[in-house]
Amino acid sequence: ESGRELIDRLEQTRGLTREEWITLISGRTPETAEYLFERAREVRIRHYGHDVYIRGLIEFTNYCKNDCYYCGIRKSNANASRYRLTEEDILSCCELGYGLGFRTFVLQGGEDGWFTDDRMAHIVSSIKEKWPDCAVTLSIGERPRASYQRFYDAGADRYLLRHETFDHSHYRMLHPESLSAEYRQKCLWNLKEIGYQVGTGFMVGSPYQTPENLADDMLFLKKLNPQMVGIGPFVPHHDTPFAGQPGGTVELTIFMLGLIRLLLPKVLLPSTTALGTIAPDGREKGILAGANVVMPNLSPAQVREKYLLYDNKLCTGDEAAESLRSLDERMKAIGYHITVSRGDSLNM
Ligand code: SAM
């Protein structure tokens, strides 16, 4: 069966078997990719028009108790210069962001015990009180269900937690034994049950990843049916155990973006910073493959370069929220435009 036929079937039935996923991913060609992107754009435009949603990303702490082998802010990286923003700092970021047109704030950080449930709930309710028309998204890793419930009750709307890789043995190759695919996935189901708009996702081209792993990721996405899917290439960081591993490619990342658009037509799909980091036109390529969200950095300038998940991570130029206008111009050059709205998912 040709790639085209599989892409047509995927669009029509919104799913494929594991074998079909493997065939489509491992047998991809530039021609099937072009065809996929055409279909993905049409589906994206049907549901979201030419709008690009923006989220203000606030990286509020780079302390982390975990030791993921790929990540630059892992606890064993003694060269990382650690910082924490105060609640006041975070609110100033939101203030700046609101003025720029952001209506979603994403609070992302390492797994930092200083930010207890009390402190987090207080931060969330302060933001919601001041800007009730905004959505608050949390991305602070694994916590017990009761903690997620507290943040939700405090007003958090959405939660981002990439599953990283569905396959348990592959997960173990990327993380120390204290972490498991099983618990990570359990957290996602908990978040869904509580009522969050949930985002999950994975790195493309992470070490030891196979087409079989990616097929399993697609099957998991179908099952979880999240509101958002964040994927980006793995990019090595020089102070991690994976420093010498090859990074993921633009080519495979945008192919996976197109597949996800056809699998979950109404999902929110960011064209990620990591994609923009490995190619100057990565962001545009992601949008043209079916993505519909960008997440510019709203963190204070002096801490931005400390949230270094991988080498050369973008944090200035068009990555900076202040350059929203030039980002909008870049989107317009390819026929899209940034919109000022909460940008809720239609995949409810
Ligand atoms: N601690 C929270 C968590 O675990 O979900 C949020 C922060 S974590 C740094 C955010 C995401 O960064 C991870 O889900 C991972 O996929 C991504 N990431 C970390 N290191 C990376 C790397 N070297 N290349 C690409 N993405 C990376």
**What does the pLDDT read at residue 87?**
98
Probe ligand 1: pick from 106, 120, 203, max atoms within 8 Å of CB? Answer: 203
Q: Which residue, by CA, sits nearest to atom 5 of ligand 1?
A: 141
| Separation CA 260–CA 293 (nearest Å) | 14
Whether the CB-CB separation of 304 and 34 falls below 8 Å is answered with no
When comparing pLDDT for 319 and 345, which is higher? Answer: 345
pLDDT at 320: 65
Q: Whose CA is nearest to atom 12 of ligand 1?
A: 309
- Closest residue (by CA) to atom 3 of ligand 1? 141
Domain covering 3-339 assigned CATH 2.60.40.2480 in the classification: no
Average pLDDT, the chain: 96
| Residue 176 CA, ligand 1 centroid: distance in Å | 15
Give the pLDDT score at 322.
66
Kindly indicate the confidence band of residue 318, based on its pLDDT and cuts at 50, 70 and 90: low
Atom of ligand 1 lying closest to residue 110 CA = 1
Distance between the two ends of the chain, CA-based, in angstroms?
Answer: 33
Residue 9: C-alpha distances to residues 4, 13, 151, 234, 262 (Å): 9, 6, 40, 29, 10
- 150 Cβ neighbours under 8 A, 6+ residues apart: 117, 120, 121
Q: Give residue 132's region: left, alpha or beta (phi > 0; psi -120 to 50).
A: alpha
Pairwise pLDDT comparison (38 vs 273), residue with the higher score: 38
Give, using CA atoms, the residue closest to atom 20 of ligand 1: 71
Residue with the nearest Cα to atom 25 of ligand 1? Answer: 234
Cα 110 to ligand 1 centre (Å):
9
Task: Using the atom order of ligand 1, give the atom closest to the CA of residue 64.
Answer: 1
Q: What is the mean pLDDT of residues 71-83?
A: 98
| Mean pLDDT value of segment 281-310 | 94
Nearest CA to ligand 1 atom 4: 141
Residues with CB under 6 A from ligand 1: 70-71, 108, 110-111, 139-141, 161-162, 164, 203, 232, 234-235, 237, 274, 309-310
Residue pair 328/100 in contact (Cβ under 8 Å)? The answer is no
Domain boundaries, the chain: 3-339
Residue in 309, 311, 313 to alter for ligand 1 test, most ligand atoms within 8 A of Cβ: 309
For the cut 90, the answer to whether the pLDDT of residue 321 exceeds it is no
Which pLDDT value is given to residue 315?
78
Is the pLDDT reported for residue 326 higher than 90?
no
Does 221 or 1 have the greater pLDDT score? 221
Q: Whose CA is nearest to atom 14 of ligand 1?
A: 162
Residues 161-207 pLDDT 10s: 999 999 999 999 999 999 999 999 999 999 999 999 999 999 999 99
314 versus 180: the higher-pLDDT residue is 180
Distance separating alpha carbons of residues 167 and 169, to the nearest angstrom: 6
Span from the CA of 232 to the centroid of ligand 1 (angstroms): 10
Tell me the CA–centroid distance for residue 22 and ligand 1, in Å.
25
Residue nearest to atom 8 of ligand 1 (CA): 110
CA of 93 to the centre of ligand 1 (A): 21
Which ligand 1 atom lies nearest to the CA of residue 274?
Answer: 25
